[in-house]
Structure 1
Amino acid sequence: MRKSYDFSKARANPHSKRLKKQVTIRLDEETINYFKSLAEGVEIPYQTLINLYLRDCAQSGKRLRLEWSDETPEEGAA
């Protein structure tokens, strides 16, 4: 092993733009537990599973349909 290396002629990694970026996202505990249980079944980290799911949604152009209601739920109703 050399004492020093010369990186003056090195070039940037051409794939660096495709690397993952760390972000902070807030998920409810129920959602995290859901993906953790799925991840155990396929033996991959749950963060990877969430990324795969979100990537699939983005690539297939899935759109979330939100429907808001002005009605308040009755007490005790589920």
Structure 2
Amino acid sequence: MARRLELPSGEADDPMKDEYDFSTAMRGRFSRGDAPVVPPVHLDPEVLVSLSELAAARGISLNALVNMLLKERLKRRQ
């Protein structure tokens, strides 16, 4: 469980300001239009455990295992 930071007495618990001035902000300043979009993939807990154990047994990363399994499945589908 995360610990709460103790603030010096007299400081508010909320570090957010009441207002922020975005009048000089530039929309999209740090975004790149050519950056690939990588959607997050959420696995069911039991699937994650099984795949993690299989990846560890094979000595490869979970990412490598999932990609390998998906590529094999897609290849059979064609």
TM-score for the superposition, normalised by structure 1: 0.49
